[in-house]
A and B are shown apart, each in its own frame.
Chain A
Amino acid sequence: MEAVLDVRSVSMNFGGLRALSDVSVTVREGEIVAIIGPNGAGKTTFFNCVTSIYTPSEGEVYFTPRGGTPVRLNGMKPNAVTALGMARTFQNIRLFRNMSVLENVMVARHCRTRAGIFGAIFRPRWVRQEEAEIVRRSYALLRALGLHPWYNELAANLPYGQQRRLEIARALATEPRLLLLDEPAAGMNPQETAALKDLVVRIRDQFGLAILLIEHDMSMVMSLSERIYVMEYGCLIAEGTPQEVRRDPRVIKAYLGEVDHA
């Protein structure tokens, strides 16, 4: 199957600190892939390199948009990467806190719509239609994620678990082909985590996404992902199906010891 994301030997140095060294990851169409590793392993840094928030010191990142050929992402602006069809959520929630829940999702329609300054001022017919369409689609997304009762609330007032969901809704509004989730279950209770697991599978099927996720919750990672990459100190130490990774002695030593019997 076609590779949606192809990361080739990426390294990232912060001054003297080598946060990533020689990391290669591929994600194919419709796959759910997980990245795991202890704290400070460089997982979030990897996401930032992939989404062009950082430019990798070495190596290359290729992304294949829907119906297109692979595009090299190094040095691109993050918003251009989003426009190509890659969306993400953040480990430390980064919602637009003083905007309403609906507006948070509406903002994310930015790169799929085109009304400019003059459109905003004169509001011709096509702008009004576009605006109505933004509201309709955004609300439909909130509904799909069960957030619609709060649509007029400020995002900051949402309960924690719902804020994580709103981040997902917002990312989906950019019409991604690949969705990157950075610890989506962090801080959630077991019920919320279970619901999130179903949600991830559902949005993958419904929107035809490939999903790359970072997660510490092992039960979630093991049951969701088709493949797992394990990182430690900025290096990949293992890669494979959940069964393979679970049995890998290096992984057990580094990280998964207690999960072996989970």
Chain B
Amino acid sequence: MLLTFPLVGVRFNPVENIIQWRWRNLALVGIGAFVLSALWRWALARREMVMVSAAGQSSFRQRSIWDNRTLRWSVGGGVVAGLVVVPWLVSTYQTNIFISFLLYVILGVGLNIVVGVAGLLFLGYAAFYAIGAYAYALLNHYLGWGFWAVLPLGGALAAVAGVLLAFPVLRLRGDYLAIVTLGFGEIVRLVLENWSSFTGGPSGISNIDRPGLFGQELSVAGTNIYIYYIVLAMTLLTLVVAERLKDSRVGRALQALREDEVACQAMGIDRVGVKLMAFGLGTAWAGFAGVIFAAKTTFINPASFTFFESAIILSIVVLGGMGSNWGVILGAAFLVLLPEYLRAFSEYRMILFAVAMVLMMVFRPQGMIPARSRQYPVEDAEREEGGR
């Protein structure tokens, strides 16, 4: 409270050269701080209690209602059905917001493969988003290539770039890896900014073609809806692929790499191969998202791919739950949709964002929807074994 005193309690009025004391504000801050600290204590105590009771009980994992497959699929189906009808119900502006929400889901799921599943802290993810976007912008600008031709190519280019970046950082982990990837992100951005003759420099590239629908001309609103469906399809594809990968031989190898590198190798997994795979599999999605982004905005410049962008995507993953794709969806909703619909608070956006992050780290470090290891049905195996 003392610390905030000069900030909040005193206002210097430069016009009249007098100092206004704002006692009322000070009192408010005091009360606010008290309430917050009480809440804080209470929450901490509650957390301790939960831990103690969890330790006291049997070690068996709690069943959550999410274990119910039917429920999960009906909720998922409902959400998808809702998303399918959305563009017909809302304005073009709103559709745009949803497009960017879905783009962030794709980006989040992609980054989640690297950060959440394989446990490699990665800070320059926007670079791969940029690679996808510029791939389409440049190929379209210079060679007149269409959206559908570049979409797979953008993903492939980003994946190749990811694998190339992985080579020099194979030995790095944690903070060091974060710093190198951060540097890579900045390098890509700086190259785009300074290679004016080719990339258009800071002013970027404009008049990028929108995706074509069998040669038909669409109205602006029509194209928007069309792009919305492309993004939606891409998002679903990303989710299905990411979920399948996670529960596969490759996905288990990625998780083992995250858990313990030495044991992972001792269990017969090629550390180098798996790391390259993690990078390639993770960055490809940023490439796809980048191509769609360029087609949606028809104009791109390096300012869209700053470190801030990478930080947002990483926050989506961390907030939602590392390694959990459902968490990413929720995280993206929280960080992309919420700010749009809470315009009133836009001034405090960064503060609220920071507070949310800190609270999250303290009380729920595993994220809103924590990743859970897959539950395998082995009942039949048991019976079979028992019968022998």
Contact = CB atoms under 8 A, between A and B. Distances in A.
Interface residues of A, number: 55
A95 B264 CA distance: 9
Given A97-B259, A140-B385, A106 B265 contact: no
B220 interface: no
B249 A134 contact: yes
A109 to B, nearest CB: 8
B245 A53 contact: no
A95 B256 CA distance: 9
B373 A154 contact: yes
A141 B113 CA distance: 29
Contacts of B263: 90, 94-96
Given A94-B262, A99-B259, A115 B374 contact: no
A113 B266 contact: no
Contacts, number: 146
Nearest to A100: B373
A159 B255 CA distance: 22
Nearest to A132: B381
Interface in B253-309: 253, 255-256, 258-260, 262-271, 277, 281
Given A53-B262, A96-B263, A174-B267, A140 B381 contact: yes
Contacts of B244: 120-121, 123
A241 interface: no
Residue among B241, B244, B248 facing the most chain A CB atoms (10 A cut-off): B248
A117 B279 CA distance: 13
Nearest to B263: A94
A88 B266 CA distance: 7
A111 B59 contact: no
B60 A153 contact: yes
A107 B252 contact: yes
A78 B59 contact: no
A153 B378 contact: no
B375 interface: yes
Contact of A77 (B250, B252, B265): B265
B343 interface: no
Nearest to B261: A94
A116 interface: yes
A154 B259 CA distance: 12
B206 to A, nearest CB: 36
Given A100-B374, A174-B267, 20 more contacts: A79-B265, A79-B268, A90-B266, A94-B262, A96-B256, A96-B260, A99-B252, A100-B373, A110-B268, A113-B249, A115-B248, A117-B245, A117-B281, A120-B245, A120-B249, A131-B248, A139-B378, A139-B381, A140-B385, A153-B60
Contact of A115 (B249, B256, B270, B381): B249
B381 A110 contact: no
Contacts of A139: 378, 381-382, 385
Nearest to B250: A120
Interface in A171-203: 174
B380 to A, nearest CB: 9
B66 interface: no
A99 B256 contact: yes
Residue among A53, A87, A108 facing the most chain B CB atoms (10 A cut-off): A108
Given A110-B267, A174-B268, A157 B61 contact: yes
Contacts of B269: 79, 107, 110-111
A74 interface: no
Contacts of B321: none
A110 B253 contact: yes
Interface in B369-386: 373-376, 378, 381-382, 385
B331 interface: no
A170 B255 CA distance: 15
Contacts of B250: 115-117, 120
Contacts of A131: 248-249
B365 to A, nearest CB: 12
Contacts of B252: 99, 103, 106-107, 110
A82 interface: yes
